[in-house]
Chains A and B, each alone.
Chain A
Amino acid sequence: MDKVEDTAENGMKMKKKKENDIVIEMKDCSAGYGANRVLSHVSLTVRKGEFLVLIGPSGCGKTTLLKMMNGLVEPMEGEVLIKGERLSECDLVAVRRRIGYAVQGARLFPHMTVEDNICYVPALDRKMAKGEKKELTRKMLDMVQLPPELAGRFPKQLSGGQQQRVGIARAMAAQPEILLMDEPFGAVDEITRKGLQEELQALHGKTGVTVVFITHDIGEAFLLGSRILVMKDGGILQEGTKEELMGSPKDAFVKRLLERV
């Protein structure tokens, strides 16, 4: 008798734990601009610590999907939940400060130094002392493998790869639990990209941050993703790990995509 109860309780706990593990949930989401529908009826869940990669051709709706996760795009239908809270009922500004966001070309704020860029998010919440900013900048620059001397530079004095690294440091500075990345390595050369990929992997391993990452490079998707989501024409075509995709590609499109590895 005792034993049975025990297992039942354990089962409950397990179930509960699993539910708590979900950090992003999208339920039947559609989005578009005017009559033009970019995404239709997409549902997905992202678990804590996952590295989810969205891949698909341009215009397939992956950027729109990502922007729905931090409320930059509002769903026409459906619901987005971040850690169980409906985004439509949340204070979006507060939610966004807990979600890192990095985009192609970094889009650093050109009028701010590297230090001010990195401290941007924490400084939105409170006035930071000089020493605190300096310390945080040093720590974040170290995390993305940049020398501390860069703190006082302006973005245009950095190389493309350095800018991208600072972009990641800016996204991670407030220690977010979720990191959204929209083709962050799209605008850098091959060698720099390799380095950035390795560092992102290390960073993911070290911090356990949940990452949602967009790319159109299947090699990058396989290298980084713990789960891959193939998108086409505003919907999810197939999802799974590298092995699952390789083992049973759903259709000719996925097959062609996999051939590019």
Chain B
Amino acid sequence: MGFIQIFWDRREFFLVCLLEHIRISLTAVVCAGTLGILAGIFISGRKKMAAVVLGIINVIYTVPSISLLGFLIPFTGIGNRTAVIALTVYGLLPIVRNTYTGLVNVDAGILEVARGLGADGRQLLFRIRFPLALPVIISGFRNMVVMIIAMGGIASFIGAGGLGAAIYRGITTYNMTLTAAGSLLIALLALLSDWLLSKAEKAVNRRYGIG
């Protein structure tokens, strides 16, 4: 019951944190999504480069998030900007990998017919390959969004805003309820986003006659 009390007592603080969290996450989602999909498309036709790019991204992924933030400080300082960069870098993995996998695994026979009937490179990509890969790309996108929102919680350790600020303050002031409240909001935000995206996914699948 401490929860309801604390949300009510500090409603303004939580609202500011929540909005900040959404803002940071959304920026990172847009950056990672755009970059990731473009990179995935780019490497889908280049096998050797794909192995290198996916390898690098995998390695970055193994760096603990807190130390990645630390590494970035000398270059980009502290605050929201560094948080967005770190979250973007982390978000790349699922979206690049899924875009690549989705595009590469489109039925070769269908691609050949599409080409044989006279599609040029661009038409082949946008009319056939991309729509057919879309379910896989969307599932990577959902993964990415949830990850970015969840990881956004530690951004406050380098002075960025967001719900991590509530968690951080809770830890430093020995206020477990505050920490738990911040965590709960992050979890809810992630779940809600995922649910909204699942709706979008269903709409896309209906459009393309899947499921």
- Point out residues on A near B: beta carbons under 8 Å: 67, 70, 72, 93-101, 103, 105, 107, 109-113, 120-121, 124, 154-157, 170-171, 180
Indicate which residue in A70, A154, A171, A180 contacts B209 across the interface (CB closer than 8 Å): A154
Instruction: Look across to chain A and name the residue whose beta carbon is closest to the beta carbon of B123.
Output: A124
Q: Can you pick out 29 interface pairs between chain A and chain B where the beta carbons lie within 8 Å of each other?
A: A67-B116, A70-B116, A72-B115, A72-B116, A93-B119, A93-B120, A94-B118, A97-B117, A97-B118, A99-B118, A101-B113, A101-B116, A103-B113, A105-B109, A107-B109, A109-B110, A109-B132, A110-B208, A110-B210, A111-B131, A111-B209, A120-B117, A121-B118, A124-B117, A124-B118, A124-B119, A124-B120, A156-B209, A157-B209
Chain B residues 116-134 with CB under 8 Å of chain A are 116-120, 123, 128, 131-132
- Specify which chain A residues have a CB less than 8 angstroms from the CB of B112 in the assembled complex: 72
- Specify which chain A residues have a CB less than 8 angstroms from the CB of B128 in the assembled complex: 109
Does B114 make an interface contact (CB < 8 A)? yes
CB distance from A173 to the nearest CB of B (A): 9
Instruction: Look across to chain B and name the residue whose beta carbon is closest to the beta carbon of A92.
Output: B118
On whether the beta carbons of A93 and B118 are closer than 8 Å, the reply is: yes
On whether the beta carbons of B209 and A113 are closer than 8 Å, the reply is: yes
- Point out residues on B near A: beta carbons under 8 Å: 107, 109-110, 112-120, 123, 128, 131-132, 208-210
On whether the beta carbons of A170 and B208 are closer than 8 Å, the reply is: no
Inter-chain CA distance A99–B210, complex, in Å, is: 30
CB distance from A149 to the nearest CB of B (A): 16
Residue in A67, A95, A105, A109 whose Cβ sees the most chain B Cβ within 10 Å: A109
CB distance from B122 to the nearest CB of A (A): 10
Inter-chain CA distance A110–B119, complex, in Å, is: 16
Residue in B110, B112, B117 whose Cβ sees the most chain A Cβ within 10 Å: B117
- Specify which chain B residues have a CB less than 8 angstroms from the CB of A157 in the assembled complex: 209
Instruction: Look across to chain B and name the residue whose beta carbon is closest to the beta carbon of A100.
Output: B117
- Specify which chain A residues have a CB less than 8 angstroms from the CB of B116 in the assembled complex: 67, 70, 72, 96, 101, 180
On whether the beta carbons of A121 and B113 are closer than 8 Å, the reply is: no
Inter-chain CA distance A103–B123, complex, in Å, is: 20
Inter-chain CA distance A94–B117, complex, in Å, is: 9
On whether the beta carbons of B209 and A96 are closer than 8 Å, the reply is: no
- Specify which chain A residues have a CB less than 8 angstroms from the CB of B110 in the assembled complex: 107, 109-110
- Starting from the known contacts A109-B110, A110-B110, 10 additional A-B residue pairs (CB-CB under 8 Å) come to A94-B118, A101-B113, A101-B117, A110-B132, A120-B114, A120-B117, A121-B118, A124-B123, A156-B209, A171-B117
- Specify which chain B residues have a CB less than 8 angstroms from the CB of A97 in the assembled complex: 117-118
CB distance from B135 to the nearest CB of A (A): 10
- Specify which chain B residues have a CB less than 8 angstroms from the CB of A96 in the assembled complex: 115-118
Inter-chain CA distance A105–B109, complex, in Å, is: 10
The 8 residue pairs across chains A and B that have the minimum distance between CB atoms: A154-B209, A97-B118, A96-B118, A111-B208, A101-B116, A107-B113, A111-B131, A93-B120
Inter-chain CA distance A109–B128, complex, in Å, is: 8
